[in-house]
Amino acid sequence: MANAAHGAHAADEHHDGLGHHISPLSTYIAVYLGLLVLTVVTVLVSYAELPPAQSIPAAVAVASVKATLVAAWFMHLKYDKRFNIFIFSAAVWFMAVFFLFTLFDLTTRGTVLETNDHHEWRIDKEEGTG
Amino acid sequence: MSAAAEHGHEHHPPYLAHHFFNMNQQADSVKMGMWLFLVQEILFFAGLFMAYIAMRYIYPDTWLAAAEELDKVMGATNTVVLLTSSLTMALGVRAAQMGNNKAVAGWCAATLLGAYGFMIIKYIEYSHKLHVGLLPGKFYSFEGLEQAATEAPQIFFSVYFMMTGVHGLHVVIGIGVIFWIMMKALGNSFNSENYAAVENVGLYWHLVDLIWIFLFPLLYLVR
């Protein structure tokens, strides 16, 4: 980091108050329109009567794009300190770990030892489907 | 050290706490604290989403049948209302960055309208469900669902009311803090250097929106 460049940057920051990025109005409008379009998309997809194996990934994918738009532009993460981006990403990562490992347990109960398979819900389920 | 102390003394506005060197450092610290709180909120909601995933895995047919009882149009309307209020909040923060207190108050008022609109639609939905008995656990008394299609609709509605209820609580808290920001803006409290409170309330409101972005398709658009 050159001192001169840093100095110039600091001067800019002073000029801008805190030097935080101020997005133009058009950016906010564009993000908002994008969010509306994606809302329409996700509603239309739900009328396509897809099987859950396709509709769930589709819904989650669209929601994730919308969430990224909100986090990056409305919440300014795109222009934020990298450490805040790290904090946010870490939370998403640990949420994924939490979901995945709980699902490992949930989906494999009863496949290791038959005696583990004593949960009431599983009995109910067999009665319901059989 | 004495130079730094002098420098700090020179530019010491009343809103700069004495333990920070300058506004930049104070604003960054405040914002990082807010992000730590926000990720706590994300992980807290993750528990509810996990309950959703587990229950949907156990009762897939129930989910498909019971979610049909939710009103897609109301859910979609509420999504648009909340997205719009998120835009007005973002514009409020932008106005604060430019030091325009009047505009901050105006955008906060617009955001509050959205928040009230969201709660009114939620109230209409909840009262309909209360009326017909689409309720959690033992309170469930709806008779419109075929037994063959559904094993445990009361569990779907437990998850529905828990997730939307806790989210709704966040909206109510949001109304409170946005109102507080609006009153402070009317008192000319913010400027282009000192707007961390507006920014953090904005971040909170966007997070409430972010959670709804996932709640809406997962609860209303199951099929």
The pLDDT, as a whole number, for residue A76 is 94
Q: What is the ipTM of this complex?
A: 0.90
| Per-residue pLDDT tens digits of chain B, which is 223 residues long | 444 444 545 567 888 988 888 888 898 999 999 999 999 999 999 999 999 999 999 888 889 888 888 999 999 999 999 999 999 999 999 999 999 999 999 999 999 999 999 999 999 999 999 998 888 888 888 877 766 556 788 899 999 999 999 999 999 999 999 999 999 999 999 999 999 999 999 999 999 999 999 999 999 998 7
The pLDDT, as a whole number, for residue A115 is 54
Q: Which residues of B touch A46 (CB under 8 A)?
A: 72, 217, 220-223
A51 and A63 part of one domain: yes
Does the distance separating the beta carbons of B83 and A25 come in below 8 Å?
no
DSSP B77-135: HHHHHHHHHHHHHHHHHHHHHTT-HHHHHHHHHHHHHHHHHHHHHHHHHHHHHHHHT--
Q: Which residues of B touch A75 (CB under 8 A)?
A: 202-203, 206-207
A98 and A65 part of one domain: no
Query: In angstroms, what separates the C-alpha of B11 from chain A's closest C-alpha?
Result: 12
Can you give the CATH number for the domain in which B37 is found? 1.20.120.80
Q: Give the integer Cα–Cα distance in Å for B19 and B6.
A: 14
B21 inside domain: no
The pLDDT, as a whole number, for residue A19 is 55
A109 inside domain: yes
The pLDDT, as a whole number, for residue A32 is 98
Q: What is the DSSP letter of B69?
A: T
Q: Give the integer Cα–Cα distance in Å for A11 and A15.
A: 6
* Domain with A56 in it: 23-79
Residues of chain A with pLDDT under 70: 1-19, 110, 112-130
Nearest CB partner across the interface for B39, out of A29, A81, A88: A88
A103 and A62 part of one domain: no
A11 inside domain: no
Q: Which residues of A touch B152 (CB under 8 A)?
A: 124
Q: Give the integer Cα–Cα distance in Å for B142 and B172.
A: 29
Does the distance separating the beta carbons of B72 and A46 come in below 8 Å?
yes
Q: Which residues of A touch B46 (CB under 8 A)?
A: 95, 98-99
A27 and A66 part of one domain: yes
A13 inside domain: no
* Domain with B157 in it: 33-220
B14 inside domain: no
The pLDDT, as a whole number, for residue B79 is 98
The CA distances from residue B138 to A51, B61, B157, B219, in Å, are: 30, 20, 11, 21
Q: How many folded domains does chain A comprise?
A: 2
The pLDDT, as a whole number, for residue B146 is 67
Q: Give the integer Cα–Cα distance in Å for A19 and A74.
A: 17
A73 and A87 part of one domain: no
The pLDDT, as a whole number, for residue B111 is 98
A5 inside domain: no
